[in-house]
Structure 1
């Protein structure tokens, strides 16, 4: 490699490092609390359901605000949004570490960290698209970011368990503060390739309607084990508000004004299918993480570190397939990788169900979690590539916000759905029911992947999917 080539590669790594670390810490935060359920509930005098609400609200705030966060990058600038989001996230982590009760934990972890994530994640994907030109370079960059994101989600229980056992559950949030400080330091020299446009219009009504609709839908799922009529009412209200949101943005478009989300984003069949696969991937990952974590601690009485140790199998599987992702992408079509990933992941969920019900001890969890990690590592990056490459560079801000919102909505739905089933019946039957439902969502993702167009990357480069 020439000196110039070496310098360019080093510069690329310097740019990519803070972006990938930002995705890592946000994914880590979403799963690490799953091994601290007993410790937090005992220390803060709350219940398993209270901790589930804190986890779900964090994921839900991210999903509800991700689209507005993506639009604000045009007004405020991508680097400014990234650094502001990191600062808000860091304050939330500090507040969570000192939380005297569940309410303060929800304010710090669920609200402030959720808002910070919604501000910082869209710039990560927009800056990656703008700074890495060419499909091959962009695919490698997205591969690194998604790999660290997946590893953060899979390794969250292990790292969280180690910190909780060695120090205290509050050290988990101290670790997040340290990582955020490192990212802020690395980001100081990052250059935004596009100037901010303070005069860019922002659709406040659309932002409120979209966020309210998503909140009502997920809250309705959380209410399922308490009041059936309340659940139905919240779900119906959420559907009505989201319908009003789509009616509002169509009205703005007819008037020639810029809406929060252009309806043209939903006219790409390939992108729509890719969004379904993204939602299903994160739904299964976070649903399995919460279900296994809660079951091990509440039903089997495992410690935080023992629970985290069980999740090592998923971390190793995801790491192995992520490291091989670039080589696989040169030889296999994106559709093939996504289909194989869903088939492997769904098989892993079924193996978790069958072996854990048949045998005692921690080892029956290992094969299923390993398969889930391998499957997710295969398909996380191709799913992002399918969606992002379906639109030109001038639409990346919108599609990045929508893509991240759909993924985080999957995370919050996974925790809400699986957690509601499990918490309503903390028993082997509750575990089995949650796993069956998660396997069903894996089949839905597989079905969407099968309808993706057949494409084979020539010469190792990802070909733009047909629209």
Structure 2
């Protein structure tokens, strides 16, 4: 595939064609990210309407994020067998069905079935094709950075604006209408996707590692459930975490045995032989853990402790939305001036400072707007680093390995999202007062420092992969 001229569309096509291709892909990332954060401002409304608890709603949110993380690697592998566009459309259909079921849910169990399960499965099917197609259709580093900038900008805005949009809809109509909105957006994406063409043919004879998929999902589920159980039973938490770790070790042994026997595993161990990609995955995990963790903690604190309604909470989150949108849309100009390493480090530094500002101002002021400076800085920081961290990972491998690395990349990111909600939420739900609020945010800031350390180890300049890495 020939390199794409900077600023041109896929395969050198005009900008108008590029926009037609990117529109459904970026909107798909938007709605999936929106689904992960808009529930945060509906906690009180859902709790009252379905006669449940804050912890019950937190569990539904975490299970949605966990379902995405657990199934993202299998979802990425299925794109090779059935084709990227076919999986994209199948994922949108399942996601839309889940949104409709959630809107009609009479109780928490049905809400979990529609939101946590169906929307989670749909997301795991449709998100890997978004990143694979973007990588395959935009082949040089500059045009790919611009394309990923658009996708990540919409994804970041979805995560940051979810509380505002969800708050407006919930206050004006009701929380169920927020799911109707998601179903409507999915219908628009399906209509726009007619412009998307899959550059590679499907491989229907390619084998799928079902055993590896089960082990992967089971291990991740057990680890996150262990964290969720931390405030109820210490022995149960320890047991689930140990069991989850053992299952993940079993998964690695399973994958290695498959490779040695010449059979295709769920993912190749050689994916972890690239140091740059490994560091990029660590930064992605930390970014989404902080973003979703902060979103849940601040939204729950404002509603449960300060007594703000959905729309008031959403308006306060506008600061994060504006910051993230501004820095994400500047991705192309930023990557031309600065290395991806420098941008990721700057993003982590800004986000950690924003979290510290949240803690300082919230403890010293009763104003509703005390959270906005910190949220603005967090939005700016996340927007600066989201695009380059994705580009670092995707560009480390050639096109024949995009299915594997895209699934792994999205799984790592969504595991960060679920852990962010689980870890911070578990600390906060115990007693969402000022003390636990500061501890939860402080924990997120500490994780951000770890992400900053990983970013500092990235190479200053990255060689773009044009061939597959050697198999293990």
Structure 1 position 189, deviation (Å): 3.7
For residue 176 of structure 2, what is the aligned residue in structure 1? 170
Q: Please point out which of 415, 421, 433 is paired with 1:427.
A: 433
CA distance in 2, matches of 1:443, 1:320: 23
Structure 1 position 35, deviation (Å): 0.4
SS of the residue aligned with 1:202?
Answer: coil
For residue 458 of structure 1, what is the aligned residue in structure 2? none
For residue 102 of structure 1, what is the aligned residue in structure 2? 108
For residue 259 of structure 2, what is the aligned residue in structure 1? 253
For residue 415 of structure 1, what is the aligned residue in structure 2? 421
For residue 369 of structure 2, what is the aligned residue in structure 1? 363
CA distance in 2, matches of 1:284, 1:166: 30
For residue 312 of structure 2, what is the aligned residue in structure 1? 306
Q: Please point out which of 307, 316, 322 is paired with 1:316.
A: 322
Q: Is the 8 A contact 1:453 1:465 kept in 2?
A: no
Q: Please point out which of 139, 153, 156 is paired with 1:150.
A: 156
Structure 1 position 328, deviation (Å): 1.1
Q: Please point out which of 190, 194, 202 is paired with 1:196.
A: 202
1:453 aligns with 2:451: no
CA distance in 2, matches of 1:129, 1:453: 21
Structure 1: gaps of 5 or more residues: 456-461
Is 433-442 or 128-137 further displaced after alignment? 128-137
Structure 1 position 453, deviation (Å): 1.1
Structure 2: gaps of 5 or more residues: 1-7
SS of the residue aligned with 1:36?
Answer: helix
SS of the residue aligned with 1:453?
Answer: coil
CA distance in 2, matches of 1:66, 1:448: 23
CA distance in 2, matches of 1:155, 1:209: 35
For residue 341 of structure 1, what is the aligned residue in structure 2? 347
SS of the residue aligned with 2:106?
Answer: coil
Structure 1 position 463, deviation (Å): 4.9
- Aligned residue pairs, count: 459
Q: Please point out which of 214, 217, 221 is paired with 1:215.
A: 221
SS of the residue aligned with 1:63?
Answer: helix
SS of the residue aligned with 2:353?
Answer: helix
For residue 406 of structure 1, what is the aligned residue in structure 2? 412
Q: Deviations over 1:1-57 (max 9, x none)?
A: xxx999611111101100000000000000000000000000000000000001000
Structure 1 position 320, deviation (Å): 1.2
Q: Is the 8 A contact 1:270 1:465 kept in 2?
A: no
SS of the residue aligned with 1:188?
Answer: helix
Rate the CA distance shift 1:7–1:255 in 2: closer, same or farther, 3 A: closer
CA distance in 2, matches of 1:432, 1:11: 48
Deviant stretches of 4+, over 2 Å: 4-7, 462-467
Q: Please point out which of 125, 150, 165 is paired with 2:131.
A: 125
Structure 1 position 190, deviation (Å): 2.2
Structure 1 position 229, deviation (Å): 0.3
For residue 238 of structure 1, what is the aligned residue in structure 2? 244
For residue 5 of structure 2, what is the aligned residue in structure 1? none
Structure 1 position 126, deviation (Å): 0.8
For residue 291 of structure 2, what is the aligned residue in structure 1? 285
